[in-house]
């Protein structure tokens, strides 16, 4: 297992860092929040990221991708976290694009995956129906009728759901299991409403009332979607872990700078031994989380690992990065003092995004339970 980026991946990291620092700094995300843009991101920034090839990274060349591997997404998401940059890379490319790649037929890939890679269209995954993430608890039913299906129910926490061109909707098809349906945004009976969260990003609630789709909207065979869904979700979880790692590294640097410049009793507060010990502990936590995230990224492309081993490493990365990010941001608030909880400082923006990212696609409890279950199954 390789816990380091190779030369090409390091070059991509440098490129992403420079691009986002120039085009999408934290101040830009503050402006997007204040403007209350429905999409939650800058469309031109996304098109420029597509032009850099970011949307093509994980897909094979025969589908229009770069075949760069999922590990190549890691440095991009770290830079996204460092700058709090908002773009539909996770929702449209990592989640929906992966599902179309693994589960879609040639016609669906030609129409939708190609459009995702080119940035012409956005697709969002509509999965969760409860307050907490659990991909196996899908209650929505897809009722077969007249050569198609009728879908009714609600979906919550749809990432980048407002303004998407289509949705991959998870539903039960009788007793056969979970299936995925490609539902256009303009489908009659589909209502999309914004779902505001504290990070001011684009989330949506979907209400489907007897939405009729044809048989060609089904991805793969009926009831066969769970393996591909797990694979796509694990990619998304590790990418979120990389984003939280990037946010934590930035917060740690901001906090160290503050400790060096903030003066009390005529000395920098960074000379106080108690604060030095707390900063040293954060450094250790960051190093541990970085190893877990790199292991998770490496596992996404490793052909030598079993599916269970890959799932365990993905859950480990998401759990460790989430726990570490919460520790770092809480300490950052405390060591900044009263100003740490004001909107004047960027610390609060990182805190809100970390809280949402930590819960997205499974919180710490979910991944601890999942890891334990996978470990028992492997024993």
For the stretch 28-54, pLDDT in tens is: 999 999 988 778 999 999 999 999 999
Mean pLDDT for all residues in the chain? 96
Distance between CA atoms of 244 and 257, rounded to whole angstroms?
20
Percent of the chain with pLDDT over 70: 100
Alpha-helical runs (H) found in the chain: 7-23, 26-35, 43-51, 73-83, 98-103, 106-108, 114-118, 226-261, 273-301, 307-336, 347-359, 364-378
Instruction: Give per-residue pLDDT as tens, 40-90.
Output: 999 999 999 999 999 999 999 999 999 999 999 999 999 999 999 999 999
Q: What is the pLDDT of residues 141-175, one digit of tens each?
A: 999 998 899 999 999 999 999 999 999 999 999 88
As to burial, measured by CB atoms within 10 angstroms (0-12 exposed, 13-18 middle, 19+ buried), residue 272 is: middle
What's the mean pLDDT in 269-290? 96
**pLDDT tens-digit series, residues 215-272:** 999 999 999 999 999 999 999 999 999 999 999 999 999 999 999 999 998 999 999 9
Is residue 309's pLDDT more than 90? yes
- CA dist 87 and 55 (Å) reads 11
Taking the complete model, does pTM exceed 0.85, yes or no? yes
Domains and CATH numbers, the chain: 7-118 (1.10.540.10), 123-219 (2.40.110.10), 226-378 (1.20.140.10)
Phi, psi (deg, nearest 5) at residue 211: -75, 120
Residues in the chain: 379
């Amino acid at each position: 297992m390789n816990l380091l980026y190779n030369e090409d991946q390091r070059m991509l990291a440098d490129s992403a860092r420079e691009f986002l620092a120039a085009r999408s700094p934290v101040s830009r995300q503050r402006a997007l929040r204040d403007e209350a843009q429905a999409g939650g991101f800058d469309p031109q920034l996304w098109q420029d990221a597509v032009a850099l090839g970011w949307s093509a990274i994980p897909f094979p060349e025969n589908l229009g991708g770069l075949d760069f591997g999922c590990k190549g997404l890691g440095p991009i998401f770290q830079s996204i976290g460092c700058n709090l940059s908002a773009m539909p890379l996770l929702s449209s490319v990592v989640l929906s694009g992966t599902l179309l790649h693994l589960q879609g037929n040639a016609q669906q890939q030609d129409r939708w995956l190609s459009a995702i890679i080119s940035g012409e269209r956005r697709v969002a995954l509509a999965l969760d129906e409860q307050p907490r993430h659990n991909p196996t608890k899908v209650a929505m039913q897809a009722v077969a009728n007249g050569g198609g299906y009728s879908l009714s129910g609600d979906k919550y926490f749809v990432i980048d759901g407002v303004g998407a061109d289509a949705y991959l909707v998870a539903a039960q098809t009788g007793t056969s299991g979970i299936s995925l349906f490609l539902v256009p945004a303009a489908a009659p009976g589909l209502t999309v409403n914004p779902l505001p969260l504290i990070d001011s990003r684009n989330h949506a609630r979907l209400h489907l009332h007897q939405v009729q789709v044809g048989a060609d909207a089904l991805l793969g065979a009926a009831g066969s979607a769970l393996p591909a869904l797990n694979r796509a979700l694990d990619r998304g979880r590790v990418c979120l872990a990389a984003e939280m790692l990037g946010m934590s590294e930035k917060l740690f640097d901001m906090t160290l700078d503050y400790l060096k410049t903030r003066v009390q009793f005529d000395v920098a507060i960074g000379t106080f031994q108690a604060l030095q010990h707390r900063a040293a502990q954060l450094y250790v936590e960051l190093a541990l989380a970085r190893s877990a995230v790199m292991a998770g990224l490496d596992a996404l492309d490793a052909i030598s690992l079993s599916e269970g081993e890959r799932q365990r490493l993905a859950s480990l990365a998401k759990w460790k990065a989430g726990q570490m990010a919460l520790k770092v941001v809480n300490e950052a608030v405390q060591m900044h003092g009263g100003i740490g909880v004001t909107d004047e400082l960027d610390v609060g923006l990182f805190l809100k995004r970390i809280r949402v990212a930590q819960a997205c696609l499974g919180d710490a409890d979910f991944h601890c339970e999942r890891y334990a279950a996978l470990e028992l199954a492997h024993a």
